[in-house]
Structure 1
Amino acid sequence: MTMGSKAIGWVFPVALFLMLIIASHCASRGVPCGQKQLTFLAYVYKGQAALEAEWPWHAAIFQKQRSGEQDYICGGTVISENFVLTAAHCTISFRMTLSAEDFTVKLGLHNKSYPSEHTRSFEVVEIIRHDAFNINNLQNDIALLRTEKDISYSDYIQPICLWPVEKSDLNSVIGSSGTVAGWGVGDGYKLVDILQQATLSVVDYATCLKSKPEHFSKLLSDDKSNYCAGNQNMTNVCDGDSGGGMYFKVDNAWYIRGIVSAGARSEKGRHCDPQQFVTFTDIPYYLKWIVQHQEVVKKRNLLNLGDCGLDTHNITTPEPSKPVFLQYPWTAMLEFRVEGTPSVQTICNGALIHPRFVITVGHCVDSAFRKLRLKSVRLGEYNLKTNPDKQKTTDGKEISTTIQSIDIEKVFKHPHFNNPRYDNNIALLKLKYPADVARPNVKPICLPTLEDFNEVYTISGWKRVGQLSHVLERNTALLEDKDTCRTIYGKMKVNLVNDANQICGTYYHKQELDCFHFMSGAPLQYVKNADRKNQYFLKGLFSLGFPNCQLNYTDVFTNVNSYTKWIASVVDAENV
C-alpha cells in the first residue's frame, strides 16, 4: 500500500515529568490506553485494508469548506478524552494558520466516504501548534486538537498510550517495525475509502541521510526530535497520511512512537515516492510539551481575564484589512515629566495586561533618561494631535473616544535587568487606580500561559519620528531565525545571549521612505482562536533595533512568555 500528505511542496508533508499522564492508563477516567476492544478481529499486513475497530485510536481530520462540504486532509491519534495528536502542518494551508472552527475530527471511522453507526464527529475548539514549528523544513511538526466535547470511548474509539519514558531512547526501536494507518493515496495515486495499514521499519539517522542527502539533510533535526522509517519498497505512507501515528505494541499495550511528517516527492513531482524513507516526529521528545498543554487547557490567559484581547473579526480576516482605530486598545504610552517644567513627553510604549498593570521594557524605566521622570501611563490614545479621537464606522456612525492618564504607583523592573547586557529587558508598572476598561479604547491584552506557534505577528504603537508618528500604526512581522538574528547583531557588537528571552522579527511590509522604528515597548501580538473566541495574545515587546533600514528591519523583541512566572507573581502579590 502506498499511504501520505495533506499538500505537496518540495516534500510531501505527510504529516518523566508527570508520569500519571504518560503512563499506560488514562487516569482521568480509569480507562486503559492502547487496548483493542474487539480482539477477535484479524488484520492484514503489507499495505492491506484494516478491519473495523482494528485501530480504534486512529482519527480522520476533515477541513470544512465554504460550500459546506468537508474534505479529508490528515490523520490523527486519540490520546485522551479531549485531545487528538496530529502534525502541525495539517493545520496550515498555503502558509496560513487555520482556525479551530475549520476542522472536524471523526473517530470510529472505517470507510471514509460512508461512516457507520459507530462513527462519532467532534468539533475542534482549539489548535495548539508547537511554538518552534518550522514550516520550511517541517521540524517540530506536532500539534494538538482539543475537542469541544469529551470523547466517549467504545469498542471502536479508544485512546492510545504515549510512549513510555523509560524506553525513549530511539536505539531501542531502530530495526524494529511499527504500524501506520491511513486513508492516504493508494494504488493509482488516488485517496482510498477503506482504512489501510502497513508496517514500516525504523532506520538510523545515518542510513536515512545517506539515502537522499540533499533531502534529509534539511528534514532531519540535529536534536534528534524526529526519525526515519520505511522499507524502500512500494509499501509506504503517502499523500493524505500526514498526522497519523506509528504504533508499537509494548508490554501488552499499544503506544504511539511517531507522527507521520514528511517524505520525498517522486521524480514526476506530483506525489510521494513510496521507495524513499519518511520522517516521523518523535513522540518522547515532546512528552513534556504534550502534558503541559493538556494541563493548562482551561487557563489559556495567564491572569484569568476572560474578556481580554477580544477580536470581533473573522479569524481568517488578514490583519492589514482590519481598522487600526480601536483594534489595539491595550497599546499604552509612557508619560515622562520634564525636570523643572510642567511639560510631559511620551517616549516609550507598553501594553495594558490588567486594569492595574502595564507591561513595558526595562530600559524605559531605568534611570538612563536624564532630566526625565516617569510619571504616568496614557491609555486609549490614537491620534496624539486630537482629543477626543473621532472615527466613523462602516455603517456611518461616529465614535468619539477620550484618553485616560493614570499616575504610576510602583515600578517593578526585572531583578536581572540588563544582566547579561540586553537581557531581561522587561518591567511592570502598577497604576494608582484601575483603568476604566469599560471604554472601547481601553482594554487589556491576554498573556499566554504557554507559547504557541503563529506564522504572522502584528506590532502596534507610535514611531519615534516620521510623517505619521502622531497616529497609532501597525506592521506585520515574521519571526527571524535565531541563529541568523544572532549573527546579524553580532556583527554590530550586540551579543544576544539568551534565545529563550529574546526573539527577532523582520517586518513584512517595509516602506522605503519610512525607516523609523516603533517606540520601545511597542507590543507584538497575535490572534488565537479558542472556545469560539478570537483573542489577541502578547508575544513580545520591542526592545532594540537599528535605524535607517539597517539589518533589513530585523528588530529584537523581549519574549514575554519567558517571564510569565515573574509577571504572575508580581500581579498576585500587588493586586489586593
Structure 2
Amino acid sequence: MFTQGLCIVCVLFLFGVNSMSLKGPRITRYDPCGLGMIHFDKLKDKVWQGVLNLGILNTNGLNGIEIQIDFEKRIALFEATQNTTLSVKNNDRDYNIKIPSNVPKVYVFYIAVIETGVDVPIVKRFSINNRTLCDDTIKDSQNVNKFNVTKLNDTKYRHVCGRRSLDHTELTSVRTIARAGDWPWHAAIVVKERITNIDRYQCGGNIISTTAVLTAGHCVSKNGINVDAWRITILVGISNLTDLKQSGRQVHNAVQVILHPAFSDVQATADLAIIKVTSFRFTEYVQPVCIWGPVYDKSSLFGKEAIVVGFGTTEDNKLSDTLRSAYTIVQNDFTCIAYSPKLYTSLLNEFTFCAGYGPSSNVNPRNGDSGGGLVVATVQSDFSVSWFLRGIVSKCGVSPGHTQCDPKFYLVYTDVAPHYGWIYHNAGLQYSSNVL
C-alpha cells in the first residue's frame, strides 16, 4: 500500500528505455475479419470464449435474429448464455444460432477446437440474418492496397486510418512481444545527444498522417528548452529497436517540431507536439491511426477498454528493445482522485483523463512510454473496427523514494479530442468517412 498524498508527479522526460510492466499470461483475441460484431478470447489451449456484440445492431422491429458461424475446423460449442435454437452441420463445422425474441446486447458462448494440431477457431463465414459480414472474399480484400482511397485527379493522397491488414487484424496478443505491423501507427522517437552525438530512444509517438507523428510535448521540450528537429529520428514499422533488418522498418529524419502553444512542463492539459517528416510510405507495417474528435465528452469513455503500446522493460524489470502492448481501463476522475487526491486533483480536468487497473495492478506504461497512445476500438457502420487515438501518455504517479512510475497508480493522459482542430491543422489532415 502507498499512502495517499505522498506521491509526486513524474514528468517522464528520461532517456532510458523503461517501459511497461507486463505480468501474467498473454491475452489472445481472435476477431474474424476484424469485425466488432464477434470476437473470441482464448481461455486456455483450444478453449475460447466467444462474444457476439449484438448491441451494435438496431434490433427494433426484428422478430428474432439468426446467426451463422462456419468454422474452418471442427468445433464443440457449449455453455451459451441465452436460450437459443442451435443446429450443427458439416461435421461440427457449421453452427446456426437462432434467438427467437428478446435479443440480448451481448451473447456469450464457449467453444473448444477439437481437431489435433489446431488451436485458433478460424471462421470461414459469419452472417447475421443472411447478411454475410465475413468470408474468404472479404478476407482477401483486407489488404493495404484497399486502404488507399486516393481518387483519380486527387491532389492529395487519401488513406483510410485506424485499419490493419488482415494478418495483423484477426489474431492479436497482448502482454507479449508484438509483431511488426500489429500496431502499425506506433513510432519510436530517437534523439541525438548533444555532447556524445549518440542516438538514444526518447519516447513513443503515433503516425497520424503521411508527414506527421503526434507525441507528448515533454518529449521534445523541457524547462523551456526545445529539441532541435535535426536531432530527432523517427523509426516506424518495427517491433524491435535494434533489429536493423526488419522488413517493414523505415527511418525518417524530422524536418519540423511543432510544440502545442499551451504546453506546460507541469500540466497534462496540452502535453502535445507534432513532429513532421518528409513522407511516410504506408505499408502493411506502417499505417496511420484515426484521431478522436471534435466531440470530447470524456464521460462516455469511463469504463471503456483501450490498448496502450510501448517499448521498454519486461515483467522482470530487465531492459528490452521489444514492443509490447496491454489493455487498460479508462477510469472516472473521482476514482483516481480518491486514490491520491494530491496527485490527481491538480492533473485531471476537461482536457485530461486517467486510466489503469488501480492498486492491484502490475500492468501500466512506465518511464519511456511517454508520447505513446491510448487507442480505442470503434465499430464503424460496416461493422469493422477502426482504431482511434484518444489519449497521449503524459503523467504518472511515483511512490516515495523512487523515480520510476509505479504501475499501482493510474496514468494521466492528455485527451487529444479537445485539440482536434490544432492537430488536424498542423498535421495536414482532411476529414472524410473511414468506412471502406
Query: Fold conserved (TM > 0.5)?
Result: yes
| Higher RCO (C-alpha under 8 Å, 6+ residues apart) | 2
**Structure 2 match to 1:235:** 363
2:352 equivalent to 1:226: yes
Residues 12, 265 of structure 1: 8 Å contact kept: no
Matching residue of 2:266: 136
Partners of 2:298 and 2:258 in 1: how far apart? 25
Question: Which 5+ residue runs of structure 2 have no aligned equivalent?
Answer: 1-6, 15-146, 151-155, 430-436
Residues 185-232 of structure 1: CA deviation (Å, up to 9, x unaligned): 3334444211010011001111111111111122223xx101000012
* 1:313-343 Cα deviation digits (max 9, x unpaired): xxxxxxxxxxxxxxxxxxxxxxxxxxxxxxx
Identity %: 29
Distance 1:126 1:48, change over 3 A: same
Q: Do structure 1's residue 13 and structure 2's residue 142 form an aligned pair?
A: no
Q: Hey, what does 1:244 align to over in structure 2?
A: 372
Q: How does 1:312-323 map to 2 (within 5 A)?
A: none
Q: Which residue number in structure 2 is paired with residue 155 of structure 1?
A: 284
Distance 2:169 2:274 in 1: 32
Residues 186 and 44 of structure 1: CA distance in aligned 2, closer, same or farther (over 3 Å)? same
Q: Which has the larger radius of gyration?
A: 1
Q: Cα deviation per residue 1:511-552 (whole Å; 9 max; x = unaligned)?
A: xxxxxxxxxxxxxxxxxxxxxxxxxxxxxxxxxxxxxxxxxx
Aligned residue in 2 for 1:258: 391
- In 1: Cα distance, 2:315 partner to 2:376 partner: 25
In structure 1, the residue matched to 2:252 is 122
Question: Deviations for 1:344-366, whole angstroms, at most 9, x for unmatched residues?
Answer: xxxxxxxxxxxxxxxxxxxxxxx
Counterpart of 2:306 in structure 1 is: 178
Tell me the SS of whatever aligns to 1:258: strand
Give the aligned residue type for 1:101: W
Structure 2 counterpart of 1:99: 228
Q: Residue 49 of structure 1 aligns with which residue? A: 177
- Residue equivalent to 1:563: none
C-alpha separation between the residues in 1 aligned to 2:267 and 2:192? 26
Amino acid at match of 2:303: G
- Tell me the amino acid that sits aligned with residue 81 of structure 1: T
The residue type equivalent to 1:227 in the other structure is: F
Describe how 1:459-470 pairs up with structure 2 within 5 A: none
Amino acid at match of 2:286: I
The alpha-carbon deviation at position 94 of structure 1 amounts to 5.4
For the aligned residues, what is the CA RMSD? 2.4
Flag the 1:191–1:142 CA change in 2: closer, same or farther, 3 A.
farther
Query: What is the CA-CA distance between 1:286 and the residue it aligns to?
Result: 0.4
Taking structure 1 as reference, are residues 253 and 138 closer, same or farther at Cα in structure 2, changes over 3 Å only? closer
Counterpart of 2:249 in structure 1: which amino acid? T
Aligned AA for 1:204?
N
User: Which SS does the other structure have where 2:210 is aligned?
Assistant: coil
Per-residue CA deviation, residues 380-438 of structure 1 (Å, 9 max, x unaligned), is xxxxxxxxxxxxxxxxxxxxxxxxxxxxxxxxxxxxxxxxxxxxxxxxxxxxxxxxxxx
Residue 197 of structure 1 corresponds to 325
SS in 2 for 1:84: strand
131 and 9 in structure 1: CA distance in 2 versus 1, 3 angstrom threshold: farther
Partner in structure 2 of residue 564 of structure 1? none
Secondary structure of 1:197's aligned partner: strand
Task: Quote the offset at 1:163 in angstroms.
Answer: 1.1
Question: 1:26 touches 1:33 (CA, 8 Å); kept in 2?
Answer: no
Alpha-carbon distance, 1:25 to partner:
8.8
Change (3 A) 1:14 1:278: farther
Q: 1:75 aligns with which of 204, 215, 232?
A: 204
* 8 A Cα contact 1:162 1:283, kept in partner: yes
Q: 2:159 aligns with which of 22, 28, 31?
A: 31
**Contact 1:13-1:138 within 8 A present in 2 as well:** no
Give CA deviations for 1:473-509 in whole Å, capped at 9, x if unaligned: xxxxxxxxxxxxxxxxxxxxxxxxxxxxxxxxxxxxx
2:269 matched to 1:270? Answer: no
Say which SS state the counterpart of residue 196 (structure 2) adopts. coil
User: Does the aligned pair in 1 maintain the 2:208–2:427 contact within 8 Å?
Assistant: no
TM-score of the pair, normalised by structure 1: 0.45
| Aligned-partner Cα distance in 1 for 2:292–2:200 | 30
